[in-house]
Each structure stands twice: as C-alpha cells, then as structure tokens.
A and B are shown apart, each in its own frame.
Chain A
Amino acid sequence: DQQVKQNSPSLSVQEGRISILNCDYTNSMFDYFLWYKKYPAEGPTFLISISSIKDKNEDGRFTVFLNKSAKHLSLHIVPSQPGDSAVYFCAASENNYGQNFVFGPGTRLSVLP
C-alpha cells in the first residue's frame, strides 16, 4: 500500500501560468514533507520543505501548502517556466531527524512555451 500518492502522473501547463502539483498521504504520523525535482538521467534536487507546524512555506516561485486534516499537500509554481519541466516527487517522514523519507511516484510536469 502506497503511503505517499501523487495521483497525476503528468501535468501540462502553459508558460507563465500556475502549476499545481498534488500529493496525498495515508500515514497520520507523517509530519515533515519535501518536494524534489528531477531531470532525466540526473539525481533529484531538493526544492522546498514544510513541517506540520506550518500550513504554508514559500521560496521564490515555489510555495508548498499543507492540509494536515486532509492529509494533502500541494506545490504551486508561479509563474511556470519551460525550465520547470521535470518530474516532481513528494516525500514524507515522521520527523526530520533519523527517519527515512517515503517518496511518491512522481508527477511529470511539462511547461509549454
């Protein structure tokens, strides 16, 4: 049973518009979440994190929202750029020290010029 789900395998967005990538989880003990971005044939790179004491964290064009009651988080990219085209992974852990992260299956984002 997948503990971290990204139900949209792919998403296409026009350049300049908002990209919204969703992630759902089943383990109520998860309280720390990461988003990673991955280009083909490269390792994932860290984008942004959020802990359960917050419901929003912002870093430049990237904002992550957390709804603990719904066990749902989302990554917003505004404005979307062609260089944002990549696979985005959501990951979760029970705390940010010592526990291993569980990754979702990823969503492939295509930003169209």
Chain B
Amino acid sequence: SQTIHQWPATLVQPVGSPLSLECTVEGTSNPNLYWYRQAAGRGLQLLFYSVGIGQISSEVPQNLSASRPQDRQFILSSKKLLLSDSGFYLCAWRPMQLDSYTFGSGTRLTVV
C-alpha cells in the first residue's frame, strides 16, 4: 500500500535560520508531489509541485525553495527563514491514474 511520510511534525526555528522539511512516499513510483501551506485563517496554498526528479514548479514567489532529488522524495527548504514563513506545511502526492491527493500529516513551523 502507498504511504506518505512527512517530518518533523513540529519545528521552532529562529528568524534567519535555514529550513529543511522532508517528504517521502512509499509504494508507488513517479508520483506527482506537492508542498502546500496552511496559514492561520487561510486555506491551503500551493507552494511547489513536481512531476518528476529534478522538475519543480513554483506557484508563488517566496522565501522558500523545493527540490526532488529522488523519485519519491520531496524537500522544502529555505536559506533564511522569515517570521511570515510560520504556518502548517503539508506534503501531498497524487498518482496520475487516481483522482485525488493524499496528504501527509503536516509540519507545524513556528519562526520566532
């Protein structure tokens, strides 16, 4: 069966520090992978998506970047965090032949 792992679950980081959030998918190959952010009082905002290794599309300009070094690994990074980067970050995957996303359990990031 397919599963998605996302870690860490919570993270408190100082302003200006780097960030690395990791997401891996098991039990499938060549999934579409996504990073979403849920900010307080707002919906789910698509940050990045990837249709394959090394292929990253950015939906909104921001302080973050994403990488896909392996087929089932998707990483969200920042060189220097801002206070406004605080939020709940969700990784999701979508196999091409199915019609919905499966989300990870999320990472609560607080930038202080």
Contacts and interface: CB of A to CB of B under 8 A. Distances in A.
A103 B44 contact: yes
Contact of A41 (B36, B100, B108): B108
B110 interface: no
Interface in A24-59: 32, 34, 36, 41-46, 49
Interface residues of A, number: 25
Interface of A is mostly: loop
A49 B108 CA distance: 28
A41 B43 contact: no
B102 interface: yes
Interface string A78-107: 000000000001010000111011111110
A105 B49 CA distance: 20
Contacts, number: 56
Contacts of B49: 100
A89 B44 contact: yes
Contacts of A43: 6, 90, 92, 103-106
Interface residues of B, number: 26
Given A43-B90, A49-B99, A104 B43 contact: yes
Contacts of A6: 43
A41 B32 CA distance: 23
B60 interface: no
B41 to A, nearest CB: 8
Nearest to B51: A98
B81 to A, nearest CB: 20
Interface string B12-34: 00000000000000000000101
A49 B100 contact: yes
Given A34-B100, A89-B44, A103-B36, 4 more contacts: A36-B103, A44-B90, A46-B102, A101-B46
